Amino acid sequence: ANFSEQVVESFPSDISTGIYYGWACVGNGDVHKMVLSIGWNPFYKNTKKSVETHIIHTFKEDFYGEILSIVIVGYIRPEKNFDSLEALISAIQEDIEEAKRQLDLPEHLKLKEDNFFHLPEGKIVNNH
C-alpha cells in the first residue's frame, strides 16, 4: 500500500530513509504487522521519495481508497540498492521476518491494541 505524494510530503523531513516495522490498519479493520519502506527505491531508480507499506496479511480484496493507519515502532536497516531483483526479494523477506520477531515482543505487541486504530463510526479523518 503506497501513500500518496501529499502524505509522503507531510512526513517529517528529517526522518531517515530505510526500512521500518510497525502496525497497520485498513479502515476499521483488524490491526496487522507491517514493514514500511521510506525512500527513493534505488533499485527502481525512483525520482520521488515514496512511503510503501507492506502489510503482513493476505487480504481477500483490494482496499484502494480506504484509510490506512500506521504506527511506526522501529527501524530495521537503511535503504540500499541491490544487484538483482532476487537480492531485493531476499532482503524484503528478511525484513518481514525481522518485523515479525520484533513485533512479537511484549512492549511492541501492546501497541496493536492502541485506541489510535479504533476510529469512531462516521468520524471524518483528513477530509475522508
Looking at the annotation, which residues are catalytic? Answer: 52
User: Cα(74)–Cα(108) distance, rounded to whole angstroms?
Assistant: 9
**How far apart, in Å, are the Cα atoms of 109 and each of 1, 52, 100, 115?**
22, 22, 10, 14
Nearest to 29 by CA among 55, 2, 3: 55
Nearest to 99 by CA among 47, 21, 24, 46: 21
Let me know: does 70 contact 36? Beta carbons within 8 Å.
yes
